[in-house]
Chain A
Amino acid sequence: MILLAAITLPLIVGSWLLAAGRPLGRRPVLDIALLTALGSAALLGAAVATGDSFERIWVPRLGLSLALGVDGISLPLLVLTSAIGILVVLLARSHTPQGGAPAIYLGAVLVTIGGALATFAARDAILFFIAFELVLIPVWLLIHRFGDPHDEAARRDAGLRFILFTVSGSVLMLIGILALVAAAGTSRLDDLVTAGAALPLGTQTVVAALLVTGLAVKVPVFPLHTWLPAAHTSAPTGGSVILAAILLKMGTYGLVRLPLASVPDGFARIAPLLAVLAITGIIWGGLVCLVEMEAKRLIAYSSIAHMGFVTLALASGTEVGLQAALIGNIAHGVISALLFVVIGGLKERWGAVRFDQPLPALREHAPRLGFVLILGLAAALGLPGLAAFWGEIMAIYAAWVSPRGPGLLLRVCAAVAALGAVLAAAYTLRVARLLWVGEAPEPVDPPASAEDGAAVVTETSGSERLVLAALVLAIVAIGLMPHIVWSVTAEDVRVVLSR
């Protein structure tokens, strides 16, 4: 019951804000949203501490039950979602995006958080799908209404592209889930682990292909990624953070829960193809980042490269690989959240962050923000001691030692992925040079904002600083003590792979 409350609290308060919050002022809405996010986090903590779970029949026709529970694989993601939720609400205190009433923005954020919590806590495959769909309209709303105020057409296009791509993916996934449920005779994830593995290889392969294709849109895996850069570019800062830190994780989590755990033999058959697509994404994303001129697009492409490492680790089918994918997920969540807060903050101050025009040197105008940017870039590069290091190095190792694949395919993948890590170094240094050092021969002042004409103070302040501090702390903590994640996941990783 406590777990159910942790999920329904943001859903109910968010829906209420969306439906009836419009007349409320900015201040009370911010307080209500913060209290809700904190309350949900506290309830989640209580549910985890007491080992709470919930199960009740919901739609008997489908054999669908409201089954919620927490295990080692979902716990880190639940904590990430809850924490990012609080940070996004805090971020709105220093800057609420234009485009509508604050109640609508925060209502959409809260519903998204609730939907993501439900996705990670669902213990029923069909319930997982419904929760997966729950975030679509609120996130579309964030992009469509509260996105980049300078380019309305691009914003609408990005929102529509986001919703149509992800709906195509999720309906394909639904067909995979229904096929799996029809063949295995149960929709409970715990039972599917044994019932699904017992299916004939042909069925497993078809189901795995449908599930992987559907989920690959959300991750996103290389040829299906085209919605992500547009969505990131147009979304408000909070929306980008949610997209990168929460929504993409729903895709990788789905890959672990459904194809990898439920139809392991079928997944093994398509894993080599997935690995090849993953390294294509790593290289493609890296190359685009070398030439991309728009800062948020660049971070989006680097996200595609990082998710490539996670996908590669999953495709390796080893215990190390699964551990690498889980920690890579969390690491990418906090790092991309940090980068989007920094870059998004600059974009909101300057109107645009483009590398084809001289930019003010952050190290001079805003040394603290500059430091945070450098730390985020260093983490994205995969430096040891910071969060992303473990995920990437272990993903390459897992692919190298993987028993899978025709011939040496996965070893080749590992080598190419290592090359991708070098590309990551190149593009992060490019961003650091352009943005932190400042390329202009003369020091440039920050572009004046159109409204007041005065020079914009670029240094962080108030709740934005709090958010950045929390993210920096998380990046360093995971980098130095990866065991805080692994100790939670280890047991269930072994269970998933033990068959």
Chain B
Amino acid sequence: MRVEFDWYALVPVLAPAIGALLVLLLDALMPRARAVHLGAALVTLGAGAAAAGHSAWTRAEQYSLCLEAPDGACLYGTTPMSSVLQAAALVAAAVVVLMLIGDRWRRPGSGGGAVAGDELVGGPAVAAALVLAATTGATGVVGAQDLGTWLVTLELATLPMIALVALSASRRSVHGALTLLVTSVLSFALLALGVALWLVATGASTFASSGVRDAWASDDHRLVLVTAVLVLLAGVGFKLSLIPFHAWTPVTYASAAVPITLALATISKIAGLGALITVVRAFSSVTQDRGLSVVIVALCTVALVSMLVGAVIALRQVDPVRLLAWSAIGQAGWVVLPLAAVSAAGVEAAAGYLTAYVIATTVAFVVVHLVHGPVPAGAPERSRQLLHTGGLARHHGWLGGLLILALASLAGLPPGVVGLVAKIVALQPVVAAGWWPVAVIAVVGAVLGVAVYVRWIAIILGAGRSGQPLQRLVGSRTALVLAGTALVVTSVVPALVFR
């Protein structure tokens, strides 16, 4: 059997993989040359992002690993929208790597306090390699078209995260890692089961819509297929932290180092949504009937419950990272909501919403990291508080301004226009499908979300004690410039995300 390769199409996946190997190799050869490690990671991520960005910009559909006729299926394929997701994952990974390695930049002899990565077992290079590996999984699963690649890449995006959380080596982070590990094992079991059911129902090893159409024609197969989708939804629900699969999120987010939490909030989310999109897209050619409405009701329910509960609990948080964790659960509801329309527009809306969320949440996490600095290993549970960002707008104007812009974007209020457009795009397929009750409950979710973020914005604008000088976290500052520029530019030109 001959397999046709299109190497260029695979660059977004291969680049971070090569980067991971390169960083590990360089770490073994030159353990002290952090600049080289950082350079290797950033160059490979940049190459991947450039390739993905180019595909998105030229609106090209890319296929690779195509089998010969008569099967003729391609094991890897991206649409312009999935290229945008890949680019977002790669840029988010660059931000994380900058924070992990770049923050250790110190002029010789300038001492300084604890820095993220100091307490990471194995050093920042190993952590960066793990981030790159997870990124490989995320960009891979976005393009994966067959069951095997899909399952393996999705797990590749998850497993390094567990290691990353555990690497902090404090008691709390081990607890967080354990929670994540148990969740992931459960999630993997569900995914494996779902994939097996899918194989039984369609008889095909790919997520091609032709297989789904055939299975839909027979009653028995349809039942199995619907079960498969529900089980897969549950499995992916863990990765996207949808309620009721969310329990690990606040624990793990709050216990890991902030750069690693950021990786969880961006790279893992992109992997989860990429996986879910592949499944939903396979149904685009199926006619509406009872079987499909079960899937739709399931999607709507988890979306709405996540949206409402996530926002309500986020209202009560005092730790900014926990607030962002619960808001991530609420935002995951918004991401999944348009998917329930099971249409091409819905899929694109979900991907666009997630991209906007990733940009805004990255800025928020980096600012929190800069304000609090790395939390030392033995720090008490409540060492980070929202009140510490009090007066940020007054004392550190740009930092406060960017955090407000990010929170406004998450709330879907101007000046965070990219977040507002994302909300419009997410609601459009739901309204077009005529689901009034869903749309009206989403209104409640939107209002609760505004209450969450406005509460924090009020603290940032108020008087407070955030006047102390910031730590010299060079990498994080560079990362903030990168993410902040992305946020401002996409707020002026939302078409970059919503093409």
A-side interface residues toward B, CB under 8 Å? 15, 18-20, 22, 57-62, 64, 115, 126, 129-130, 133-134, 136-137, 140-141, 144-145, 156, 159-160, 163-164, 167-168, 171-172, 174-175, 178-179, 182, 206
0/1 interface trace, chain B 441-472, chain A, CB 8 Å (1 if under): 01100110011001001100100000000000
Residues of B409-459 at the interface with A, using a CB-CB cut-off of 8 Å, are 413-415, 417, 420-421, 423-425, 427-428, 431-432, 434, 436, 439-440, 442-443, 446-447, 450-451, 454, 457-458
Contacts of A58 in B (CB 8 A): 494-495
Contacts of B461 in A (CB 8 A): 141, 144-145
Q: Are B420 and A130 in contact (CB under 8 A)?
A: yes
Contacts of B425 in A (CB 8 A): 61-62
Since A61-B352, A159-B458 are in contact, a sample of 11 more A-B pairs with Cβ atoms closer than 8 Å, ordered by chain A residue number, is: A19-B401, A22-B397, A61-B499, A62-B425, A134-B414, A137-B415, A156-B458, A171-B443, A174-B424, A179-B431, A182-B428
Q: Are B414 and A62 in contact (CB under 8 A)?
A: no
Residues of B136-170 at the interface with A, using a CB-CB cut-off of 8 Å, are none
Cross-chain contact of A172 among B398, B423, B443 (Cβ < 8 A) = B443
Q: Are A163 and B450 in contact (CB under 8 A)?
A: yes
Chain B: CB-nearest residue to A23:
B397
Cross-chain contact of A137 among B348, B414, B434 (Cβ < 8 A) = B414
Q: Are A167 and B450 in contact (CB under 8 A)?
A: yes
Q: Are B397 and A160 in contact (CB under 8 A)?
A: no
Q: How far is the CB of A236 from chain B (nearest CB, A)?
A: 15
Interface centre among A133, A137, A164, by most chain B C-beta atoms within 10 angstroms, is: A137
Given A62-B425, A174-B427, residue A130 in contact with residue B454 (CB < 8 A): no
Q: How far is the CB of B308 from chain A (nearest CB, A)?
A: 14
Chain B: CB-nearest residue to A115:
B414
Please tell me if B265 contacts chain A, counting CB pairs below 8 Å: no
Contacts of B421 in A (CB 8 A): 59, 62, 64, 130
Cross-chain contact of A178 among B398, B414, B424, B451 (Cβ < 8 A) = B424
Q: Are B428 and A62 in contact (CB under 8 A)?
A: yes
Q: Are B443 and A168 in contact (CB under 8 A)?
A: yes
Contacts of A129 in B (CB 8 A): 424
Q: Are B427 and A62 in contact (CB under 8 A)?
A: no
Interface centre among B398, B432, B442, by most chain A C-beta atoms within 10 angstroms, is: B432
Q: How far is the CB of A125 from chain B (nearest CB, A)?
A: 11
Q: How far is the CB of A372 from chain B (nearest CB, A)?
A: 35
Q: How far is the CB of A48 from chain B (nearest CB, A)?
A: 25
Q: Are A160 and B454 in contact (CB under 8 A)?
A: yes
**Can you list the 8 inter-chain pairs with the closest CB atoms, starting with the nearest?**
A61-B498, A178-B431, A182-B432, A134-B414, A171-B443, A171-B446, A175-B439, A167-B450
Q: Are B413 and A175 in contact (CB under 8 A)?
A: no
Q: Are A59 and B397 in contact (CB under 8 A)?
A: no
Contacts of A130 in B (CB 8 A): 414, 417, 420-421
Cross-chain contact of B397 among A19, A61, A134, A167 (Cβ < 8 A) = A19
Please tell me if B408 contacts chain A, counting CB pairs below 8 Å: yes
25 A-B contact pairs sorted by A residue (CB < 8 Å) = A19-B397, A57-B495, A58-B494, A58-B495, A59-B494, A59-B495, A61-B348, A61-B498, A62-B428, A62-B498, A133-B420, A134-B414, A137-B408, A140-B454, A141-B461, A156-B458, A163-B454, A164-B451, A168-B447, A171-B446, A175-B440, A178-B427, A178-B432, A182-B431, A206-B436
Please tell me if B213 contacts chain A, counting CB pairs below 8 Å: no
Q: How far is the CA of A64 from the CA of B499 in the complex (A)?
A: 11
Q: How far is the CA of A129 from the CA of B421 in the complex (A)?
A: 10
Please tell me if B175 contacts chain A, counting CB pairs below 8 Å: no
Q: How far is the CA of A137 from the CA of B454 in the complex (A)?
A: 9
Q: Are A167 and B427 in contact (CB under 8 A)?
A: no
Q: Are A60 and B495 in contact (CB under 8 A)?
A: yes
Please tell me if B54 contacts chain A, counting CB pairs below 8 Å: no
0/1 interface trace, chain B 290-321, chain A, CB 8 Å (1 if under): 00000000000000000000000000000000
Chain A: CB-nearest residue to B405:
A19
B-side interface residues toward A, CB under 8 Å? 348, 352, 394, 397-398, 401, 408, 413-415, 417, 420-421, 423-425, 427-428, 431-432, 434, 436, 439-440, 442-443, 446-447, 450-451, 454, 457-458, 461, 494-495, 498-499
Q: How far is the CA of A234 from the CA of B443 in the complex (A)?
A: 27
Chain A: CB-nearest residue to B428:
A178
Contacts of B413 in A (CB 8 A): 133, 136-137, 167
Q: Are B431 and A175 in contact (CB under 8 A)?
A: yes
Chain B: CB-nearest residue to A173:
B443
Q: How far is the CA of A134 from the CA of B417 in the complex (A)?
A: 9
Q: How far is the CA of A83 from the CA of B133 in the complex (A)?
A: 59
Secondary structure class of chain A's binding surface, majority of residues: helix
Q: How far is the CB of B486 from chain A (nearest CB, A)?
A: 17
Q: Are B397 and A60 in contact (CB under 8 A)?
A: no
Q: How far is the CA of A168 from the CA of B458 in the complex (A)?
A: 19
Q: How far is the CA of A436 from the CA of B425 in the complex (A)?
A: 54
Contacts of A179 in B (CB 8 A): 431, 434
Contacts of A141 in B (CB 8 A): 461
Q: How far is the CA of A167 from the CA of B413 in the complex (A)?
A: 9
Q: How far is the CA of A172 from the CA of B442 in the complex (A)?
A: 10
Contacts of A22 in B (CB 8 A): 394, 397
Q: How far is the CA of A167 from the CA of B348 in the complex (A)?
A: 25
Q: How far is the CB of B463 from chain A (nearest CB, A)?
A: 10
Q: Are B446 and A167 in contact (CB under 8 A)?
A: yes
Q: How far is the CA of A15 from the CA of B420 in the complex (A)?
A: 18
Cross-chain contact of A175 among B401, B443, B498 (Cβ < 8 A) = B443
Given A137-B408, A144-B458, residue A167 in contact with residue B447 (CB < 8 A): yes
Chain B: CB-nearest residue to A176:
B431
Chain B: CB-nearest residue to A132:
B414
Q: How far is the CB of B418 from chain A (nearest CB, A)?
A: 10
Q: How far is the CA of A411 from the CA of B139 in the complex (A)?
A: 67
Given A58-B494, A171-B447, residue A126 in contact with residue B424 (CB < 8 A): yes
Chain B: CB-nearest residue to A129:
B424
Cross-chain contact of B414 among A136, A145, A172 (Cβ < 8 A) = A136
Q: How far is the CB of A423 from chain B (nearest CB, A)?
A: 34
Q: How far is the CA of A60 from the CA of B427 in the complex (A)?
A: 16
Contacts of B352 in A (CB 8 A): 61
Q: How far is the CA of A159 from the CA of B394 in the complex (A)?
A: 20
Contacts of B408 in A (CB 8 A): 137
Contacts of B415 in A (CB 8 A): 15, 134, 137
Contacts of A60 in B (CB 8 A): 495, 498-499
Q: How far is the CB of B331 from chain A (nearest CB, A)?
A: 16
Q: How far is the CB of A104 from chain B (nearest CB, A)?
A: 8
Q: How far is the CA of A175 from the CA of B435 in the complex (A)?
A: 11
Cross-chain contact of A164 among B414, B436, B440, B450 (Cβ < 8 A) = B450
Contacts of B499 in A (CB 8 A): 60-61
Given A145-B461, A175-B431, residue A164 in contact with residue B447 (CB < 8 A): yes
Q: How far is the CB of B366 from chain A (nearest CB, A)?
A: 18
Contacts of B498 in A (CB 8 A): 59-62
Chain B: CB-nearest residue to A178:
B431
Q: How far is the CA of A72 from the CA of B149 in the complex (A)?
A: 61
Chain A: CB-nearest residue to B418:
A59
Interface centre among A20, A57, A61, A130, by most chain B C-beta atoms within 10 angstroms, is: A61
Contacts of A144 in B (CB 8 A): 458, 461
Q: How far is the CA of A340 from the CA of B96 in the complex (A)?
A: 52
Q: How far is the CB of B446 from chain A (nearest CB, A)?
A: 5
Interface centre among B408, B431, B446, by most chain A C-beta atoms within 10 angstroms, is: B431
Q: Are A175 and B450 in contact (CB under 8 A)?
A: no
Contacts of A167 in B (CB 8 A): 413, 446-447, 450
Contacts of A133 in B (CB 8 A): 413-414, 420
Contacts of B398 in A (CB 8 A): 19
Chain A: CB-nearest residue to B449:
A167
Q: How far is the CA of A175 from the CA of B446 in the complex (A)?
A: 12
Interface centre among B394, B447, B451, by most chain A C-beta atoms within 10 angstroms, is: B447
Q: Are B424 and A62 in contact (CB under 8 A)?
A: yes
Q: How far is the CB of B78 from chain A (nearest CB, A)?
A: 18
Q: How far is the CA of A59 from the CA of B490 in the complex (A)?
A: 11
Q: How far is the CA of A171 from the CA of B443 in the complex (A)?
A: 6
Q: How far is the CB of A70 from chain B (nearest CB, A)?
A: 22
Q: How far is the CA of A137 from the CA of B434 in the complex (A)?
A: 31
